[in-house]
Amino acid sequence: MSRIYSPYRVLGLYSSDIPFVLKYVPSSGAHYAVVPVGERFNVYKLPKLTLVGSSDSVETPIKSLASCGDVLVASSGKTIYIFRNSRYLLRRLQLHTNDITHLCSLQNLLLASVDEGGLTNVWNSKSWEIVSHIEFSTKSFRVTSVLCPLNYKNKILFGSFQGPLQLWNVMSRRLLYWFKGFNSSVTCLQQAPAVDVCAIGLADGRVIIHNLRYDVTL
């Protein structure tokens, strides 16, 4: 029997319920999986999942993680933590008044942070100053997932607990399109290999492959 798809290591034994992120280092051509584990994250070199490092600890468990240019960004409580060299704590950003739930990198130039109160801050990834913000009413649109679609400059797709999705230009603060949704809460969003296409995970267990440009399910 072929062993081409035999397991190598089960990441679930080494991680929390917070999604991992992939990081590419152009200087070495290496890819890494960055896996949150409580108050820190572990860094595994791909494809063999070799543990190469562990980050400095933060005060409380990490709730979201993103790769943004040369740094890794984590959120815990109301604080955003910036890490250099994939492990060393560089600085803290503390301008949210509610716990942060999601982080999203936009072409490695901007970082969006979403909190429980419905506030989305957009940060310049060089100066770490807020350059834009959007506020949602959690009663009508509570953000449960975020995605910067491939080649969509300055744009974020927001999924909601209520079911609909919204596509925003976060720099001009313009709502570009409202997707009516699929009669279930959005739990995750993932870019497909094709431009304009993403996977939408729903609370009822369905996964929808959807073309954003034409608002058509494939």
Question: What is the tens place of the pLDDT at every residue in 194-215?
Answer: 999 999 999 999 999 999 999 9
Residues 198, 208 contacting (CB under 8 angstroms)? no
* CA angle (186, 218, 164) in 5-degree steps: 25
What is the structure's pLDDT at 1? 52
Kindly indicate the confidence band of residue 6, based on its pLDDT and cuts at 50, 70 and 90: low
Structure tokens at 68: 């943004």
Residues forming CATH 2.40.10.480 domain(s) in the chain: 144-217
Residues 113, 75 contacting (CB under 8 angstroms)? yes
Q: What does the alpha-carbon distance between residue 37 and residue 50 come to, in Å, rounded to a whole number?
A: 16
Prediction pTM value: 0.89
- Helix, strand or coil for residue 114? strand
Top-tier CATH class for 144-217: mainly beta
Residues forming CATH 2.130.10.10 domain(s) in the chain: 1-135
Residue 113 has what DSSP assignment? E
Residues pairing with 112 in the sheet: 104, 122
Residues 102, 65 contacting (CB under 8 angstroms)? no
Residue 87 or residue 210, greater confidence: 210
Q: Answer whether residue 3 shows pLDDT above 80.
A: no
CATH superfamily entry for domain 1-135 = YVTN repeat-like/Quinoprotein amine dehydrogenase (2.130.10.10)
